[in-house]
Amino acid sequence: MITARDAGLVACRSCASVWPQDQATCGRCGARLQSRDTGSLQRVWAWWAAGVICYIPANATPMLITRTLVTKQDNTIVGGAVEIAKHGDVLIALVVLVASVMIPVGKFLAIAYLALTLRRGTVQSAHGRQVLYEVVDFIGRWSMIDVFVVAILSALVQLSVVASIRPGPAALTFALSVIFTMLSAQSFDSRLIWDEAQLDGPDTPLPDLDTEPAAPRPDQPQGETS
């Protein structure tokens, strides 16, 4: 196994093709070529800080303002979950807490961990950190669900005096926090995780790509092509 950089080449992260090291743009897809994204960590930390800063007011100010005939209620994210739990829906309350507190906080910690261990090293394997990165990258978008719920409720619950729901300022700061955290994760160049790993020297022959055949399906004869 050998990396494109060790072979004196540069890989395109957008289309996976391989080019001479001094080439600036990919000839197949037109993307900018960079053997390692040198500005990656600065951008990761900048977006990360922006995300954390927005996450604080997102928790301190109300997300939903509910008015009914008799009550007016400002709910923060955690307050809303507690409210749901008091109604007896403990499971739903847990889902809300996981989605709006555990996942964002977990993402902040995970990104910080991945960025810090690049410099300091770690006992955790590169593969373990790659998996962690993929999980963070995948799960980031799902935090937007809270903002969408607020949008749905504010549009739907407009029953004049009987009940109405309005979004609070936390809707904006929470949305920004999610967007900034997504940008932070996207800025991370995962190839940096693998760089310390010991590899074969640059003179080893290149391996063939491993291929796996399709899982056999009983309803289809093997070898059929289209």
**Residue numbers 149-168 binding Zn ion by CB under 5 A:** none
The interface partner of residue 112, options being another protein, Zn ion, none and the CB cut-off 5 to 8 Å by kind, is none
Amino acid of residue 144: M
CB burial of 44-75 (b: ≥16 within 10 Å; e: otherwise) equals: beebbebbbebbeebbebbbbbbbeeeeeeeb
**Contact pick of 52, 58, 63, 84 for another protein (by CB under 8 A):** 84
Burial of residue 10, with CB atoms counted within 10 A of its CB: 0-12 exposed, 13-18 middle, 19 or more buried:
buried
Q: Which stretch binds Zn ion (CB under 5 A): 12-20, 100-108, 166-174, 207-215?
A: 12-20
Size of residue set near another protein by CB under 8 A: 84
User: How many Cα atoms sit within 13 Å of 68 on the Cβ side?
Assistant: 3
- Shortest distance, position 195 Cβ to Zn ion, whole Å: 12
The interface partner of residue 141, options being Zn ion, another protein, none and the CB cut-off 5 to 8 Å by kind, is another protein
Q: Report if residue 158 touches another protein, rule: CB under 8 A.
A: yes
Q: Which stretch binds another protein (CB under 8 A): 42-50, 52-60, 106-114, 206-214?
A: 206-214
Q: Report if residue 29 touches Zn ion, rule: CB under 5 A.
A: yes
By C-beta, is 46 or 166 nearer to another protein?
166
Between β-strands 64-68 and 158-159, what pairing exists: parallel, antiparallel or unpaired? unpaired
Assign 3-class secondary structure to 84-95: HHHCCCHHHHHH
